[in-house]
Amino acid sequence: MSGSLAWPPVPPRVIDFHLHTIFSDGQLAPAELGRRAFVKGYSVMGLSDHVDQSNLEWALERALLAAGALSGEIGLEPGVEGLKLLPSVELTHVPPPRIALMTARARELGAAYVVVHGESPVEPVCPGTNRAAILAKADILAHPGFLTPEEVDLAAQNGVRLELSARGGHNMANGLVAGLARRYGAQLLVNSDAHSPNDLLTPEIQMRVALGAGLSPDEYLEMMAGAAAWAATL
């Protein structure tokens, strides 16, 4: 393993842009999910429930309400900054020709960023979804599976962040995604895709997902710094 650090001794707090609540198929309301995440070591949590053409407005309205009511209010322990909640959506099994329009619509409605459910190796996502999301300049392509070099190069050019997933099954191609991202200069994130409290990351687990995908310790720290800088703008 390359890099100047053999193992970062104190990984930064978790920054996770991909979590689900009771507003789609998650188990917890935003406040409880946020509190549990804060205690696990989160500083930033993205509310990105599953949406399609039928529920985009409904789900995003609730994410916006939750983020407005709870961001900074969860935590507030002595000497610790409160948890930052970000309102988002995950476009899920949306037909590729509709992805660009729905990405634009989510932004018009106030989404801090847009996630697209990529071509995971364990779900029957429509072929062409990854490319459509990249061409639409979605912010995050979640668990994209077996991306091609051409798609990763295009993601780098379009500023689309590629997810290294901590979720079982979805994470099968993490090593491929990380290697291609290094080759073409695409940005990476480690997200939980949490649906239950047991899916939440700790700083150590987030680090191990990154290193297990093949990132060096220096690359992991650079990725986390980039995630923190991006979150600060949202």
Domain ranges of the chain: 14-233
- The reported pLDDT for the residue numbered 2 is 44
Backbone angles phi, psi at 144, to 5 degrees: -80, -5
On the question of pLDDT at 8 being above 70, the answer is: no
* Residues 71, 31 contacting (CB under 8 angstroms): no
> What is the average per-residue pLDDT within 133-153?
98
* Residues 17, 46 contacting (CB under 8 angstroms): yes
> What is the average per-residue pLDDT within 89-93?
98
On the question of pLDDT at 186 being above 90, the answer is: yes
> What is the average per-residue pLDDT within 159-184?
98
Q: What is the DSSP letter of 23?
A: T
CATH class of 14-233: alpha beta
Distances (CA, A) of 126 to 8, 63, 122, 158, 183: 39, 26, 12, 21, 26
Distances (CA, A) of 98 to 23, 69, 78, 101, 138: 22, 31, 47, 6, 12
On the question of pLDDT at 129 being above 50, the answer is: yes
Q: What tokens does 67 get?
A: 């983020």
- The reported pLDDT for the residue numbered 1 is 40
- The reported pLDDT for the residue numbered 9 is 55
How far apart, in Å, do the first and last CA atoms of the chain sit? 33
Quickly state the pLDDT bin for 100 (edges 50, 70, 90).
very high
- The reported pLDDT for the residue numbered 82 is 87
On the question of pLDDT at 33 being above 70, the answer is: yes
Backbone angles phi, psi at 180, to 5 degrees: -70, -35
